[in-house]
Amino acid sequence: MAEANDREQTTHFGYQEVPVSEKASRVADVFHSVASKYDAMNDLMSFGIHRWWKRVTIEHSGVKYGNTVLDLAGGTGDLTARLSARVGPEGRVVLSDINSSMLEAGRDKLIDKGLVGNIEYAQADAECLPFDDNTFHCITIAFGLRNVTDKATALESMYRVLKPGGRLLILDFSKPVLPLLSKLYDAYSFIALPALGKLVANDADSYRYLAESIRKHPDQETLLAMMDRTGYERTEFFNMTGGIVALHKGFKF
């Protein structure tokens, strides 16, 4: 029994097993380290394809003029910028991230672009969102869920703050569907990514964690089942770039 309790008090940080109480701070250290180079590394790592992944996400959002939207784990604000244009001056977009360095980088970038007026900022934990029930027409979380310690709790928290009829969109790395692509992707992830991280951000370890965290993230069907158990309806997912990335969608009714 004691051994089982010990297992319950640990979780994964990449391929390491760490105490649950330590994971959030370790993930925070990663993103404090990479925040200033985050956008540049995104372009390099994905060869710019992340911009298309995000455009597809926006097209599936159903966001309309006047809506209220939460961009959770929104980082440097790529989705927030697009959502801000969609909701217009009568709408509201909340850019939220648990990491202060990422949130500051996102805020500075959006202000520099002149995007003010309908954007708010909130440092928040996805597992215990500080918003009222039934607040948002749409929640997006791009490349953030895999870093959350308790994903089931986060899904419940997001469900609570969605309005009836609202939708959740989860964009994240997933499991490639072709064996050859999977092998090439593994080689790229574990060799090229840390090397790029060292060269551009002077931080190979954070990008090694990135590669490991992707492999520990639930695959497409597992994440879909988690959404179903939480109560989301009409759930589905769309593979992009051969399943390297997947977009999951679900509604609250």
Distance between first and last Cα of the chain: 40
Which pLDDT does position 7 carry in this prediction?
A: 52
Tokens of 174: 């997933």
The pLDDT, as a whole number, for residue 2 is 45
pLDDT at 61: 97
Contact 223, 248 (CB under 8 A): yes
Indicate the class that CATH gives domain 39-175+218-251: alpha beta
SS3 category, 172: strand
Instruction: Quickly count: other Cβ atoms within 10 Å of residue 21's Cβ.
Output: 11
The span from the CA of 159 to the CA of 227, in Å, is 9
248 in Cβ contact with 235 (< 8 Å):
yes
Copy the structure tokens of residue 131: 């918003």
Q: Where are the domains of the chain?
A: 39-175+218-251
Q: 120 near 92, Cβ under 8 Å? A: yes
Instruction: Say how many C-beta atoms besides its own lie within 10 A of residue 108's C-beta.
Output: 12
Instruction: Say how many CA atoms lie within 13 Å of 108 toward its Cβ.
Output: 9
State the DSSP H helix or E strand holding residue 200, giving kind and residue range, or none if neither. none
Hey, what are 145's tokens? Answer: 């869920």
Per-residue pLDDT at 248: 98
Alpha-carbon distance of 73 to 157, in angstroms, equals 14
Residue owning tokens 């759930």: 235
Instruction: For residue 244, give every residue at least 6 positions away whose Cβ sits within 8 Å of its Cβ, in sequence order, or none.
Output: 173, 174, 176, 181, 185
pTM of the model: 0.88
Residue 4 has a pLDDT of: 44
Which secondary structure element, helix H or strand E, spans residue 237, and what is its range? strand 233-240
Cβ atoms 22, 30 nearer than 8 A:
no
Q: What is the pLDDT along the chain (253 residues), one digit of tens a residue?
A: 444 444 558 887 777 787 887 777 877 777 787 777 778 888 888 889 999 999 999 999 999 999 999 999 999 999 999 999 999 999 999 999 999 999 999 999 999 999 989 999 999 999 999 999 999 999 999 999 999 999 999 999 999 999 999 999 999 999 999 989 999 999 888 888 888 888 887 888 888 888 888 888 999 999 999 999 999 999 999 999 999 999 999 999 9
- At 11 the pLDDT is 85
171 close to 201: Cβ distance less than 8 angstroms: no
